[in-house]
Structures are given as structure tokens and as C-alpha cells.
């Protein structure tokens, strides 16, 4: 319960080719030899960052979800990453950039990307999410986010731990880890790395950013630069611009030491975000 092993899968993606992506990722995940409890894939890992919702969207019992169930069960770990999802419950189709948190037993939670990337016309094709998902693994609380959400610190901010809310003890932060899955272009790599470190510092948590590499069908280049940052913003493990998989173990002792020595969160403002 004091440690959590995570694997970051930084990879190129086949443009709008689910079969090839899922086959490639299955091989990569099966090839992880270290003990791992959470495997993190990039944003839209089965398609690339595509606006082709009509041709690529799936319901929550579609082939990509079935693949995630199978891989989580075979690897006996949590698998997470975002997919193009369609809401089958409404007469008018709604599409979501949906991050799925798949457990080994087939149960899952999901988070719909809140901040849609208008610069890339994402807002014209997808519906924004309305609520955060803070998942758990081995007693760790994990805030799950997608790419562009990284630029919006108020949405990500820890609540003031001195303000007890229902089901939450005083002096207990909301979460321990922030995870971002991304297709973040190389042209803005400096912002990617800087903002990941900033979110770690201001929220006194581990931050994990998993980005893709390669070039997509729109000619955008991705530099990878996935990383894990500690609660003081220090980069614990940077990845290069190449395809790479790393597994590392996070320790609660590091978090508790920083939060105990520097109880900055208790001085934060208390606020609520209206959806």
C-alpha cells in the first residue's frame, strides 16, 4: 500500500488504424517484464488524435473496450488511456474523448475530457465532460486527465485539505497522483514539460505525463517527452523522443515528507467549480 508501480508506454501510433494499434500495443504491454500495477497509454491510443468521430467512435462494449478488458485481465494490472467514445443512450450522437480506467476484473471508470482543443477544432466534434474522476489503486488516489486539461490549473487544483468535505478527513489532500495522457505536438514541448512540473509543485503530488511520438495523419509531429515529476516538481524520470516504455515505483513516503515539511496546501483558497 506504500508503493505503486506504473508503466509509461510512449509510442508512435498508426493513423486511424485500430487493428494495427491494438496489436502493436498488446505486444508492448505483454513485453513489460517488470512488476507493474498501472499501464498508461497515450491519448486516443487506438486511432491517433482524430476528428473522424463518425468513422471511429465506439460504444462502451466496442472492440477497444473488449481489448482493454482482455489486456488488463492477462497482465493482471490496470490499463488506462483515452478512446473515441459514443454515447448510445441519446437519439442525437454525442462523442467523447474518454479516458478509461480498466481494472483487471473488467470493471471500469471513465473521465470525459473537460477542455476541448478548439485550436484543433476538437470542440466541433466532441462533447466536453462535466466532472473529474479520481480513481484509486492500492490506496493511492489518482486524478485522471487528458492532454489540453493540463493548461487549466483551477480544474486540477487540490481542494484545501483543512476544509473537510463529506467522506474526506481533514488534512487529507484529494489525490496523490495526476495522470495526463496526451497527443501533445512537438512545437509546444516546452509548455508540456513546464506545465507538468508546475502542476506537481502547486498540488504537491506526483505527476505522470504520457505523450505519443511520430507524425500523425495531419502532419503534426510529436516529440514524446513523457515524464514523471515528484511533488517538488523535480523530474524523476524523463523519456526521450523515441518509442520507449519505462516502469517505475512511486513511494508514499516521498509525498508525506514533502507535504509534512511544506504544508502549503492548507493555505490554499477554498472554492468550487460550477459545471
pLDDT digits (tens, 9 = 90+) for 109-143: 999 999 999 999 999 999 999 999 999 999 999 99
Q: Which residue bears the cell 514533502?
A: 258
pLDDT confidence of residue 254: 96
pLDDT confidence of residue 132: 95
Which among 223, 217, 219, 245 is positioned nearest to 14, based on CA atoms? 217
Cβ atoms < 10 Å from Cβ of 150: 23
pLDDT tens profile 224-264 = 999 999 999 999 999 989 999 999 999 999 999 999 999 99
**What residue ranges define each of the domains in the chain, with the CATH number in brackets?**
3-267 (3.60.110.10)
Which of 16, 122, 147, 174 is the catalytic position?
147
Q: Assess whether 147 carries a catalytic annotation.
A: yes
Average pLDDT of 9-28? 98
User: Does the CA dihedral 77-146-99-47 come out positive or negative?
Assistant: negative
Which of 18, 75, 113, 193 is the catalytic position?
113
pLDDT confidence of residue 270: 78
Residue 223 has pLDDT above 80, yes or no: yes
pLDDT confidence of residue 268: 86
pTM summary value:
0.95
pLDDT top residue among 84 and 269: 84
Helix, strand, coil percent values for the chain (each to nearest 5): 30, 30, 45
pLDDT confidence of residue 42: 98
| Class of residue 27 by CB neighbours under 10 A (exposed 0-12, middle 13-18, buried 19+) | exposed
Which of 43, 58, 122, 174 is the catalytic position?
43
Q: Assess whether 252 carries a catalytic annotation.
A: no
Which among 193, 206, 219, 216 is positioned nearest to 21, based on CA atoms? 216
Q: Assess whether 113 carries a catalytic annotation.
A: yes
Q: Do residues 6 and 40 make contact, with C-beta atoms less than 8 angstroms apart? A: yes
Percent residues over pLDDT 70 in the chain: 94
pLDDT tens profile 151-203 = 999 999 998 666 655 555 556 899 999 999 999 999 999 999 999 999 999 99
pLDDT confidence of residue 46: 98
Cell output for 188: 509546444
Residue 40 has pLDDT above 60, yes or no: yes
pLDDT confidence of residue 170: 58
Amino acid at each position: 500500500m506504500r508503493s505503486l508501480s506504473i508503466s509509461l508506454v510512449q509510442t508512435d501510433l498508426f493513423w486511424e488504424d485500430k487493428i494495427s494499434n491494438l496489436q502493436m500495443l498488446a505486444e508492448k504491454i505483454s513485453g513489460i517484464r517488470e512488476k507493474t500495477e498501472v499501464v498508461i497509454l497515450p491519448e486516443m491510443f487506438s486511432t491517433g488524435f482524430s476528428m473522424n468521430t463518425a468513422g471511429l467512435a465506439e460504444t462502451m462494449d466496442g472492440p477497444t473496450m473488449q481489448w482493454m478488458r482482455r489486456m488488463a485481465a492477462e497482465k493482471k494490472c490496470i490499463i488506462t488511456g483515452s478512446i473515441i467514445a459514443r454515447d448510445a443512450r441519446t437519439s442525437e450522437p454525442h462523442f467523447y474523448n474518454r479516458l478509461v480506467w480498466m481494472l483487471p476484473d473488467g470493471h471500469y471508470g471513465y473521465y470525459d475530457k473537460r477542455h476541448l482543443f478548439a485550436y484543433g477544432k476538437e470542440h466541433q466534434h466532441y462533447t466536453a465532460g462535466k466532472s473529474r474522476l479520481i480513481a484509486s489503486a492500492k490506496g493511492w488516489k489518482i486524478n485522471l486527465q487528458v492532454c489540453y486539461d493540463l493548461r487549466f490549473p483551477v480544474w486540477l487544483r487540490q481542494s484545501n485539505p483543512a476544509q473537510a468535505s463529506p467522506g474526506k478527513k481533514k488534512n487529507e489532500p484529494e489525490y496523490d497522483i495526476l495522470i495526463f495522457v496526451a497527443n501533445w505536438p512537438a512545437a509546444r514541448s516546452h509548455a508540456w514539460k513546464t506545465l507538468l512540473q508546475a502542476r506537481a509543485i502547486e498540488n504537491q503530488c506526483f505527476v505522470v505525463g504520457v505523450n505519443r511520438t511520430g507524425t500523425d495523419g495531419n502532419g503534426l509531429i510529436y516529440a514524446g517527452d513523457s515524464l514523471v515529476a515528484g511533488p517538488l516538481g523535480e523530474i524523476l524520470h524523463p523519456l526521450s523522443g523515441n518509442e520507449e516504455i519505462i516502469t517505475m515505483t512511486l513511494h508514499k513516503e516521498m509525498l508525506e515528507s514533502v507535504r509534512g515539511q511544506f504544508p502549503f496546501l492548507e493555505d490554499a483558497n477554498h472554492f468550487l467549480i460550477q459545471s
